[in-house]
Amino acid sequence: MRYRITSTLLALVFILTGVGCLSRGPKVALHHYLLKDELGATAPAPAVRPSAIGLGLRPFDAASFIEQRMLYRISPVEIEYNDYEVWAEPPQEMVSRAFLEGLRSAGLFKRVARAEDFPVDFFPMVLTGRLEHFELDRTTEPPSAYIAVSLELQGSERNTYHWEGMMTARENLTLDTPAEYARATERALRRLIEDTAKELFTHINVNK
């Protein structure tokens, strides 16, 4: 009986080893894509006088289905992921940094900085956001890079809100490739930040 058990175990080891060898395929390289922090966002008009109020930014969150793998929308209710084409960082982190640099370079505010780097009541208004869509939309013709961010402009006091809204941007791809998708995403994000800067400028000056 002891001999039979040993033989069976050895047979299982050989089978599992063989299966492991057969299942090993060539290593597939992952391609990583990183968005530029400085996208060249500009003020809506050079004659606009910057606001005297500073703006704090908190890191953005993201919808649960958004991850580092590139996400493709193939129908209004279906998405799929590309396991080999991935963002170098979580999309919400790249978008948060791009917003910080973009709102600074837009030149519409006295100061734009990360809220957590200053005392709680340093900024009279703080921007928070949640990335709702960050995808290559193949339901459009041609395919397009689509970004949607829900934003809240909060006061320094708890539970005070000055504005909330959904900002979106879409840019068509010239080729349906991951590299072109990354470039189109940068263009869409630049436009989204410029539109957000104008919206925030209006509300900050109304509420100051």
Q: Lowest-confidence range among 36-50, 95-109, 132-146, 153-167?
A: 36-50
Whether residue 12 is contained in a domain is answered as no
- Residue 150 sits at φ, ψ, to 5 deg, of -90, 130
CB–CB of 73/145 below 8 Å? no
How long is the chain? 208
- Residue 12 sits at φ, ψ, to 5 deg, of -65, -40
In tens, the pLDDT along 54-65 reads: 889 999 999 999
Whether residue 25 is contained in a domain is answered as no
CA dihedral over 45, 51, 56, 61, signed as positive or negative:
negative
* 108 has pLDDT over 70: yes
Whether residue 200 is contained in a domain is answered as yes
Which domain CATH number covers 198?
Answer: 3.40.50.10610
pLDDT score at 139: 98
pLDDT score at 3: 38
Q: Give the residue, 160 or 9, on which the prediction is more confident.
A: 160
Whether residue 91 is contained in a domain is answered as yes
pLDDT score at 25: 56
In tens, the pLDDT along 68-86 reads: 999 999 999 999 999 999 9
Q: What's the whole-number mean pLDDT along residues 91-102? A: 95
pLDDT score at 49: 60
Q: What's the whole-number mean pLDDT along residues 155-167? A: 83
Whether residue 17 is contained in a domain is answered as no
Whether residue 6 is contained in a domain is answered as no
| Structure-token pair, residue 174 | 């010239």
Q: What's the whole-number mean pLDDT along residues 82-103? A: 95
| Structure-token pair, residue 155 | 């006061």
Q: What's the whole-number mean pLDDT along residues 2-26? A: 43
Amino acid found at 93? E
Whether residue 3 is contained in a domain is answered as no
Instruction: Quote the number of domains for the chain.
Output: 1
* 140 has pLDDT over 60: yes
pLDDT score at 172: 98
Domain of residue 42 covers 31-207
In tens, the pLDDT along 18-38 reads: 444 444 555 667 899 998 766
Whether residue 22 is contained in a domain is answered as no
**Rounded CA separation 189/171 (Å):** 9
Tell me, letter by letter, the H, E, C secondary structure of the chain: CHHHHHHHHHHHHHHHHHHHHHHCCCCCCCEEECCCCCCCCCCCCCCCCCECCCEEECCCEECCCCCCEEEEEEECCEEEEEEEEEECCCHHHHHHHHHHHHHHHHCCECCEEEHHHCCCCCCCEEEEEEEEEEEEECCCCCCEEEEEEEEEEEECCCCCEEEEEEEEEEEECCCCCHHHHHHHHHHHHHHHHHHHHHHHHHHHHHHC
